[in-house]
Amino acid sequence: MGIRVDFTDVKGGFEPIPEGKYDATVFEVEQRISQSSGQPYLNWQFKIQGGEFDGRRAFYMTSLQPQALWKLKQVLSNLGFDEEALSGDFELDPSELAGLECTVVIAHEQYQGETRDRVVEVLEMGNADNGDVDLYR
């Protein structure tokens, strides 16, 4: 016996989230290894809070290479971590990041001919004014 499914009003995929600033929470952070470089990075998954795109997910990556740790430090600071704690040796448990609030800046990129949204910056919560957005890539 099969499963009956009605695809009558189903449209293809998600439309990209419009470029701008959105309040969000950290949904999940997972350490991964880059297929291209073989180096570790953190894959961040954010969940948009409120508005038309409530519940949608947006993604971000931070390298764990020494020359790129400034970006991870900036993200953690904007998530409310103490600057003093971030000034030396620091042990990070990615599973403890879920639920932290922030504002994400979303921009668009082309990937295999499709427009996709991606997080380009993580800011302190409360910066989602959706006014003029300086989208640096």
Q: What confidence score (pLDDT) does residue 108 get?
A: 95
Q: How many domains are there within the chain?
A: 1
Q: Would you say residue 128 lies in a domain?
A: no
pLDDT in tens, 92-120: 999 999 999 999 999 999 988 889 999 99
pLDDT at position 10, please?
A: 73
Q: In this predicted structure, what is the pLDDT of residue 88?
A: 86
Give me the domain span that covers residue 99: 20-123
CB contact at 8 A, 59 and 43: yes
With respect to residue 1, please indicate whether it lies within any of the assigned structural domains: no
Residues lower than pLDDT 70 in the chain: 11-13, 129-137
Would you say residue 135 lies in a domain? no
- List the CATH number of the domain containing 93: 2.40.50
On whether residue 66 sits in a domain, the answer given is yes
82-97 in b/e burial notation, b at 16+ Cβ within 10 A? eeeeeeeeeeeeeeeb
Structural domain includes residue 48: yes
pTM above 0.85, yes or no: no
Helices (H), the chain: 69-78
> Does some domain include residue 27?
yes
